[in-house]
Amino acid sequence: MKKYRYKHQNEEEIKAYVKANKLDAKFTESGLCYVMFKEGAGKQPGPESNITIAYFGYFTNDESFDQNESLEINMKEVIPGWIEGIQLFKEGGEGVLLVPAHLGYGIEDHDSIPAGSVLIFDIQLIRVT
């Protein structure tokens, strides 16, 4: 399928990044990679929750593409990698999501994000409502 055109390349890129940065990472069945620094102790979001999140988005070459210190958004409005990954955290949780293209913006360019890009997000889940 077209959606998975970059799947193998993304897997190799993520594994290399994890190894180079000595991250204690876990992988989900979908291919999402995550590192939990602090799980948090508050509410855990569901796939339709409203959340407030702080994040810093960058590529595996450490070039940044986006950041926000207090984004309020519904989980239905975010990329699939966030829908899956953010549900692993509780309020106050902090960690990193490494999102392969098929869980991000896929095979199309999206603003400053080239098609097929692995996206990395340092995240802090501030609030779930």
The 64-74 sheet, strands edge to edge: 26-27, 33-38, 94-99, 119-128, 50-58, 64-74
Structure confidence at residue 34 (pLDDT): 98
pLDDT tops 80 at residue 2: no
Structure confidence at residue 96 (pLDDT): 98
Segment 98-105 mean pLDDT: 97
Distance CA 47, CA 82 (A): 10
Three-state DSSP state, 81: helix
Cα 11 to Cα 4, 28, 31: the distances in Å are 11, 12, 7
Structure confidence at residue 4 (pLDDT): 77
Segment 83-112 mean pLDDT: 96
- The band of 3, judged by pLDDT with boundaries at 50, 70 and 90, is confident
Tokens 């989900």 identify what position?
28
pLDDT tops 70 at residue 1: no
Tokens encoding 12: 């190799």
Distance CA 59, CA 116 (A): 11
Three-state DSSP state, 33: strand
Kindly report, residue by residue over 33-90, the tens digit of the pLDDT. Answer: 999 999 899 999 999 999 999 999 999 999 999 999 999 999 999 999 999 999 999 9
Segment 82-104 mean pLDDT: 97
Quote the pTM value: 0.95
The domains found in the chain, sorted by start residue, are: 2-128 (3.10.50.40)
Structure confidence at residue 39 (pLDDT): 86
Tokens encoding 45: 């979001």
Do residues 94 and 38 lie in contact, with contact meaning Cβ atoms separated by under 8 Å? yes
Distance of CA 115 to the CA centre of its chain: 16
